[in-house]
Amino acid sequence: MAPLRLCLGSFLVLCIVIDTTFSSAGVKYLPPVAPQKVHYGSLDANAVKSLFNEFTREYGKRYENLKEKEERLRIFSENLKRYDAMNAEEQGTAVYGIDEFSDMTVEEFSNKMLTLNINSYKKRLGEKYDDPSLKHVKAPKNFDWREKGGVTPIKDQGACGSCWAFSTVANIEGLYFNKYKKLVNLSEQQLVDCEKNSDGCWGGWMASAVEYLAEAGGLQDEDSYPYMAVDQVCQFDKTKVVAEVEKNVMLPTNEKKMMAYLFKNGPISIALDARAMGGYKGGIAHPTEQWCSKNSTKVNHGIALVGYGVKVVQFDDKKKRLPYWIAKNSWGTDKCDKGYWYVYRGDNVCGLANWPSSAVLK
């Protein structure tokens, strides 16, 4: 098995439809609200089977024969127990439950969606970002680039391991908006086809993608180079470049400095161990290390941080402040919380602070 694939998204959807009227400037986004927990352990075998049948209908699951269906039912039942355990051990407010991947083992989920060997891409990390002014940035308590109009709608990478490209593009779209006050839907397909140090639909790395763009001359928009969710021959046309890129920078692995950079410049790319994103339904995620690792070598998925906030939550008899990141995923709006993952800020949850990076525009 090749160790170079960063992730696969929904394997049922092959390409994305973009609404070109996507500015959200002026829209106010509320803090994340956790859905109601379901205690699956209280269900008997018949109830679990009924729930499984409902699951197969909702997600259009088809199995080769009765034996495979029974095996998937067994795995589904084990995952219900896992969701109960994750809910019981959750340190934030996140809720875990049934999603499209609930008939897959954790190993299958990881092998199919989250299989990157980061050592393959370390040679193209780019320079370290050194900006002493960051410590003087007075970032507000809550900030959301979506509310400024700097984030395109949630996209779906489909049956292609291109989350690295979507993370890169989300970063550059935000930087471009911050610089030119114009939101443009940029091309992930250009990166999939043309970034030869990555492996297209079989994985890649955000820093490497940005280094390619700096060498090639820049990034086209979605209209001139649409997303197809497959590897193609490179069709890059330098005359159609929209966003010119100077270089990639690796940001400080300090979440306060990451917050200051995001506020000052725009969304940033991150890599993380995304195993705990399987089954995430909403709320502020703060899983224990049993469910995702902080180890910098265990990252397996690329997403973009587009904002942050603080929510006051009642825990038993006391109130607690939960700082969080707003992370844009690329699995469509039917995954996570309408496509977003809200995750605790300040504890390097799932290793999210190990590899923050950003393009620098010309």
Tokens of 338: 């309408």
Residues for the chain: how many in total? 362
* Alpha carbons 316 and 324: distance in angstroms, whole number: 20
CB 185 within 8 A of CB 22: yes
Cα torsion through 283, 289, 293, 296, rounded to 10: 110
Which one of the listed residues 329, 336, 350, 354 is annotated catalytic?
329
CB 193 within 8 A of CB 228: no
DSSP-derived 3-state class of residue 282: strand
* Alpha carbons 353 and 330: distance in angstroms, whole number: 19
* Alpha carbons 285 and 311: distance in angstroms, whole number: 12
* Alpha carbons 229 and 94: distance in angstroms, whole number: 30
Is 301 one of the annotated active-site residues of the chain? yes
* Alpha carbons 300 and 161: distance in angstroms, whole number: 11
Radius of gyration of the chain, Cα coordinates, nearest whole angstrom:
20
* Alpha carbons 223 and 221: distance in angstroms, whole number: 6
* Alpha carbons 324 and 290: distance in angstroms, whole number: 20
Which one of the listed residues 7, 79, 160, 163 is annotated catalytic?
163
- DSSP bridge partners of 357: 250, 269
Which one of the listed residues 160, 194, 300, 301 is annotated catalytic?
301
Is 329 one of the annotated active-site residues of the chain? yes
Give the position of tokens 């098995």.
Answer: 1
* Alpha carbons 72 and 102: distance in angstroms, whole number: 9
Catalytic residue positions? 163, 301, 329
